[in-house]
Chains A and B, each alone.
Chain A
Amino acid sequence: MKKGWVVFKEILRGIWITARHFTVNMWFHTLRLFGVKTRKKGAVTFQYPEQVKPLAPRHKSLHRILRRENGLPQCVACMMCATVCPSDCIYIEAGETDDPEVQKYPTSFVIDLNRCCFCGFCVEACPVDAIRMDTGEIRLASTSHAGLEYPLEKL
């Protein structure tokens, strides 16, 4: 521990640092208040609801089901995602199609975001690249549990 007169030096250094931060930031705030464009900002804050921070390319957000040209989901209802899901939040009911190329498709595909932990295992597991988590939608609040159960139409 520092003792004696060194303490006073450190005390002065401390107030020098805060005073410097104050003056420098106030300078930029004042310039920007009067409409002068500056390279630096006075604060590092993002004013969140109005000003959204760009997401990293590897982020995970709300799921997305990719579609074929005819509008049907690319999903073949193989149940891989439902099996690998650690939160058990994907419910799939399989149905048959007339298209011989496709054969199976989900008649109902519900992701329960009440349970989802956004691990991304479903994306990894999918053999036909039908599900992705790259919508950028991260504000998923709802006033009811039912509002967080996303059926196929909303995905």
Chain B
Amino acid sequence: MTDVLILLVKIVLALTWTMLLALCLTWVERKESAVIQDRIGANRASIFGVRILGLFQPFADAIKMIFKEDFVPSFSERVLHTMAPFLSFFFVAVTVVAVPFGDAITVGGRRIALQVADLNAALLFVLAMLGLGIYGILVSGWASNSRFALLGSLRGAAQLISYEVALGLSLVGLVMVFPSLRLSEIVRFQGGLLFGFLPKWGIFIQPLGFAAFFLAALAETKRVPFDLPEGESEIIGFFTEYSGLKWGLFMMTDFLEVIIVSCLATTLFFGGWQVPWLGAGGFHFPWGGAWNLPAWLVTVFQVLAFNLKVFFFCWLQVLIRWTYPRFRYDQVMDFGWKFLVPLGAANILVTGLVLVLK
């Protein structure tokens, strides 16, 4: 009974964290783009005259989207048309269960992992769910029964499937080095030290793998440098026939994907909740000296570190989104198949050689 209760609380907390972060990201996206372009950005949304830098903007957006007409074209397949955004949203949101937010804590003699489900093949689970997300795009394009939506969804499906290959290949090297597919084990393994002083993070062990992973993951989020499924300025994407809250769900999916990619990059390559040189009892610096901390403070530090790293990657992805123009379609395919896939393969080769010769 208590186990079920704990699990429910963890699910609620994890989902709340993700949704709040996604909501904040819409604000961050507006403000960060504004600051990059020497503007101020949305700051007018207010409640009783209180503005707080436009932080109410996401709520204003939500209210607007809720009260918009939910229009389903007469030529669309009603059931599938309604289902598509939920499919798209579900497969991204469900990946958050595998993300470890912190080390296991002990409350009242009971060991609680700060992770919804400690799956033994979590890495495969996450990749599979991200891959299934393509169904949301395909179904939406098919069910809309309009040429533009169908073209957009086919373009999207082709791109995402191509980059799925690159994403998988880029992580093979990591799997060769790390002892397990369990995300919690992977993070725990990264707590060690390299050459006695460098934290044993994935980025230091697998720099090439990180480059390939991050580029492929950027394409998976289908945001601007790779937004061929959408192409909001010239070509029309897979959610042409959507309006109101269903369209909002597609938009939310994009932001959730940004968060999931940030979580993955953090967990796999930047030590997850590990703080450099912070062990169970406190800091142990390689140049000598220690700083002992109580267990609860260590946990707080770890969760904070995880959040900071995730925020950083969200920021980086928004920065990238506001820096680069969109690829041409053949360039996207070239980049995926002729650059990222060979890069992933080369990474596997080099990793294998190093592992054998060691």
Which residues on A are within 8 Å of B, measured CB to CB?
Answer: 11, 14-15, 17-19, 21-22, 25-26, 29, 42-45, 47
> Across the two chains, which residue of chain B brings its CB closest to A11?
B324
Chosen A-B contacts, 9 in total, with CB atoms closer than 8 Å, are: A14-B324, A15-B323, A21-B35, A22-B32, A22-B36, A29-B35, A42-B40, A43-B40, A47-B40
- A21 proximity list for chain B (CB < 8 A): 35-38
> Across the two chains, which residue of chain A brings its CB closest to B225?
A11
- B32 proximity list for chain A (CB < 8 A): 22
Q: Main secondary structure on chain A at its contact with chain B? A: helix
Number of cross-chain contacts by CB at 8 Å:
38
Whether A22 pairs with B35 at a CB distance below 8 angstroms is yes
Shortest CB distance A150–B (Å): 31
Whether A44 pairs with B39 at a CB distance below 8 angstroms is yes
Whether A18 pairs with B319 at a CB distance below 8 angstroms is yes
Q: A22-B32, A43-B34 are in contact. Are A14 and B323 (CB under 8 A)?
A: yes
B: number of interface residues (CB 8 Å): 13
Other 13 A-B pairs with CB < 8 A, given A22-B36, A42-B35: A11-B324, A14-B324, A15-B319, A17-B323, A18-B319, A18-B322, A21-B37, A25-B36, A29-B35, A43-B38, A43-B39, A44-B39, A45-B40
Whether B34 pairs with A15 at a CB distance below 8 angstroms is no
- Which residues B40-58 have CB closer than 8 A to chain A? 40
A47 to B42, CA, bound (A): 11
A86 to B319, CA, bound (A): 51
- B66 proximity list for chain A (CB < 8 A): none
- Which residues B286-319 have CB closer than 8 A to chain A? 319
Among B34, B36, B37, the most chain A Cβ lie within 10 Å of the Cβ of B36
